[in-house]
Amino acid sequence: MYKRILLKLSGESLMGEKKYGIDENRLSDYANQIAEMVKAGIQIGIVIGGGNIFRGLSGANKGFDRIKGDQMGMLATVINSLALSSALSSVGIKNRVLTAVRMEPIGEFFSRDKAIELLEAGYVVIFSAGTGNPFFTTDTGASLRAIEINADVMLKGTRVDGIYTADPEKDASATKFDEITFDEIYNKGLKVMDLTATTMCKENNLPIIVFDMDTVGNLRKVLNGENIGTLVHN
């Protein structure tokens, strides 16, 4: 069992059955799963993407200035973070939203010491606004925060149950890896996270588990050591 984890959630997954925005049922499922793990004594930091609202990169492809687009994406992650914070509060889990750019009173400005203090006091800490810089994804933001808070592992919750030889949604012959090294990801050209995020985890020896977060109960299974996702390690 891990003591402290960084959970990376996908903004797209928050859409659930909807075409845009936040599906309240999916949000509630996430909050309940996280609450169960907090009650089991695990310290949890969370980074959530913003793709259900706005993606900087796709905005840039449509004519937005890349820096402005990325800043809009950062704000999308703040909206999702506030939604998750509210859902956690409603199931009795104390939590705090920290932002990578100053925007009090919406969230407190990120400080590593503050984050660790909150985690040790039993709070779920939600890190929003990415790294606060353009050209970095929320995967990189998650890798950075995981390393800063000395997390034991980064759990990357997606809609797919692990890493495959190809996209299983497009290629029926794709096979799943139970575990894989960072070097194999580079050599095979697999798109697990962007290269900046992957390199940070490799260089700081932070293992990643990629798993399907959208199936209720999977977070507990991963944290209990069940082999339901893909472990990435050095």
Q: What is the pLDDT of residues 96-124, one digit of tens each?
A: 999 999 999 999 999 999 999 999 999 99
pLDDT more than 90, % of the chain: 88
> How far apart, in whole angstroms, are the C-alpha atoms of residue 138 and residue 49?
6
pLDDT at 149 over 80: yes
User: What mean pLDDT, rounded, does the chain reach?
Assistant: 95
Per residue in 161-206, pLDDT (tens digit) is: 999 998 888 888 999 999 999 999 999 999 899 999 999 999 999 9
**What domains sit in the chain, N to C, each tagged with a CATH number?**
4-233 (3.40.1160.10)
The answer to whether residue 9 scores a pLDDT higher than 70 is: yes
198: nearest Cα among 149, 151, 146: 146
pLDDT digits (tens, 9 = 90+) for 49-83: 999 998 767 766 777 788 999 999 999 999 999 99
Q: pTM for the full model? A: 0.95
